[in-house]
Amino acid sequence: GKRPANRLARETSPYLLLHAHNPVDWYPWGPEAFAKAKAENKPIFLSIGYSSCYWCHVMERESFMDAEIAKALNAGFIAIKVDREERPDVDQVYMTAVQAISGSGGWPMSMFLTPDGRPFYGGTYFPKDEFADLLKGVADAWRDRRPDVEKDANTLSDAVKRASAGPARLVPVPLTRKLGRGGRVALSHQFDPEFGGFGFDPARPKRPKFPEPVNLLYLIDQSRRDRANNVEKADPAPLPMVLRTLDAMARGGIRDHLAGGYHRYSTVRDWSVPHFEKMLYDNAQLAEALVLAFEATGDPRWKAEAEATFAFVEKTMTAPDGLFFSALDAESEGEEGKSYVWTRAEVETVLGPDFPTFAHAYGLDAKPNFEDDRYVLLLPKAIDDPALEARLVPLRARLLAAREKRPAPLLDDKILTSWNALMIAAYAEGGRVLKDDRYKLVAGKAADALLATLTAPDGRLLRTSRAGKARLPAYLEDYAALTLALVKLHAATGDPKRLARARTLADRMIADFSDPKDGGFFYTAGDHEALLARVKDPFDNAVPGANSLAIRALVGLGVATGEPRYLDEAGRALAAFAPSLRDRPSGSPLMLLALEEYLDARPPAQAEPSEPGPLPGAPGVVTARAGAARPAAVGPGEEFEVELALTIKDGYHIYANPAGSDDVIPTVVTLAPGSSAELVGVRYPAGESKVLAASGPGKVAVFEKAAAPVARVRLSPDAPAGLATIPLRVRTQACDDKACLAPMTLEVPVRVEVKPR
């Protein structure tokens, strides 16, 4: 029989309901859990995951169903379970803490907090034995070394607050086309020329590869701009990166070749073996990218691929009222991919004499690519023969019918406002570009149902709904994505009521989420439950960044209504995030796209400025002077050393050399051209290793307060006798914890006595 239910049985999230019969005494996130932790003076164990997360299920089975572990958790801790898709605000805050501890993050997230919510230790998935030891270690530390725990909690909480506040606007960065185009070069450096996609690192070939549709949407827009401006040869050319990626994904195992739609990511570089969950947000954005790729190229392959993705969503992820479910699980019967993979014998049984045709097309002639001699179906090469495609259609249908007799993966049937809005936007774009009224109707029906189901009595949006119960206040991404979807639906249909509703939502968004002091938008509303930090983030992830969506929505609304106040608000947000767009352009491709759209609507009055030199407004943050030359007197052609004393203002750092990341600018000593000497080499001191919000999640090496590189210089053989000035330079970039100043070059004159020949 079933175990007795815990408090999670009263929740609506399928992920929380999966834990409703654990022996762990779970609480949902809320005041009751925190009050109990304070009353009993116990630390909190916070576990965050989501329903289609494979390792979340593994940890649930191994640890949270285990009597001994439950006993330790219930005795020493207050245990809280969170669905990150319902509470992305809680997830963001504590994920920042996990990244600060370990340099990387993921789910399930396992975090230990003080009773007032400050994090002091955590990680992601822990195997059962390791987790049991960890619980004992944390309980001992809480009992015997409380001052150390408090110190860690304060340090980590400060780091989270600094990282969450968004970039500091130290020096304004002008909003220019050049800034908007910056993502092209950055993405071309991350592009995998062999298999498409981004982020391939030869040093880490086993790293998983994600579709990253935000990159594709930005690059498609860049290629459209090249065509509009008659740019013959762009370097790097954006469209080939997009088409290479779409081709490799559409043929790979990340694409479901029987039912349509895309899995969440590939475990290997060539897209052949996926992690099998399917997310609404991926399929929404990929459908839109495919529609726009068809618009850009006229190639019917992308139209067919978009239509197959819409057909999958319609059949599997659409509720009777027209709204869209969140996700399909990766596993069935406790095994990942079980409902999707095949042995040759299984396919042969279903297809009989047609097997060789299918096997040749779908890679069953090659070695098995999945464990236990099984196959993930893929296309070694695209099918461009219409006669062959006509033969394969009924074979795929027969195989799908056989697959549908297998136990199906769990469907997460909750409705999320922002994810639904992304799908509505994709259908609206599909209707507009493919001239298909059916898609416009699907988008309109979903928009009406979403607004009816997820609007609170006071007119504000709600985040999530399931089984007729809508709850939780919506976040910035919900308002922004839905406003943008309605703007796109208006563009596709011309229906004025779509624009009127978009305007109401945008006004609410500005009132509740904008930062009137510094520009940009917070992730949570002004009257939202107070968390450790109020996040303001410029970056795009698997789901587009909330600020990117907000700015695009405001620009679209400003253009469609002719109301300048929406463009004003968009411009203030872009100005707030411009330093981040300059320093990490590949982190916010959709915000770069929003900037381009803003400049279409409101072109810069002045010509674009040239490359910035050393920054005005940043003098004295870093200073450099030279020590005495050693030896003090040097003959022509001889070498000498000089130590440079770099002083860095409190609260700032500069990056060491090497810096430990390609995304930041290391400190480099050079010699000015035209000097009567050459630089033989530089010894840089080792930097201090840190995780910093401004430079991404990994560790980087920095100098704080001071650094003393030593330059080795050789005089030219014909250097005249007397006092010589050798012009050394230091190129560096000063940053605080939130953002960076523009790179600067400091001139350091070195005096040296040249002996007569």
Q: How far apart are CA 494 and CA 514, in angstroms?
A: 29
Measure the CA dihedral 105/106/107/110, to 10°. -10
Specify the pLDDT at position 377: 98
Task: Using the predicted structure, report yes or no on whether residue 605 has a pLDDT greater than 60.
Answer: no
Q: How far apart are CA 18 and CA 108, in angstroms?
A: 14
Specify the pLDDT at position 251: 98
Per residue in 49-82, pLDDT tens?
999 888 999 999 999 999 999 999 999 999 999 9
Q: How many residues does the chain have?
A: 757
Q: What H or E segment, with its residue span, contains residue 321?
A: none
Q: What phi-psi label fits residue 412: left (phi over 0), alpha (psi between -120 and 50 degrees) or beta?
A: beta
Per residue in 705-755, pLDDT tens?
999 999 999 999 988 899 888 889 998 888 887 677 777 888 898 999 999
Q: How far apart are CA 210 and CA 542, in angstroms?
A: 8
Task: Using the predicted structure, report yes or no on whether residue 170 has a pLDDT greater than 70.
Answer: no
Residues of the chain above pLDDT 70, percent: 96
Specify the pLDDT at position 697: 57
Structure tokens at 221: 């827009």
Per residue in 639-678, pLDDT tens?
999 999 999 999 889 999 888 877 678 899 988 877 789 9
Asked which of 144-158, 613-627, 658-672 is least confident by mean pLDDT, the reply is 613-627
- For 526, phi and psi rounded to 5 degrees? -60, -30
Token match 């400050």: residue? 118
Residue whose C-alpha is closest to residue 630's, from 551, 703, 711: 711
Task: Using the predicted structure, report yes or no on whether residue 159 has a pLDDT greater than 60.
Answer: yes
Per residue in 431-455, pLDDT tens?
999 999 999 999 999 999 999 999 9
pTM, two decimal places: 0.80
Per residue in 383-400, pLDDT tens?
989 999 999 999 999 999
Q: How far apart are CA 433 and CA 299, in angstroms?
A: 13
Q: Where residue 2 falls among pLDDT bands split at 50, 70, 90?
A: low
Task: Using the predicted structure, report yes or no on whether residue 615 has a pLDDT greater than 50.
Answer: no
Work out the mean pLDDT of the chain and round it to a whole number. Answer: 92
Query: How many whole angstroms from its chain centre is CA 657?
Result: 27
- What's the mean pLDDT in 481-492? 98
Q: Could you say which DSSP state residue 64 is in?
A: I
Task: Using the predicted structure, report yes or no on whether residue 307 has a pLDDT greater than 80.
Answer: yes
Asked which of 176-185, 200-209, 295-304, 681-690 is least confident by mean pLDDT, the reply is 200-209
Q: How far apart are CA 92 and CA 376, in angstroms?
A: 34
Task: Using the predicted structure, report yes or no on whether residue 610 has a pLDDT greater than 50.
Answer: no
Q: How far apart are CA 718 and CA 583, in angstroms?
A: 43
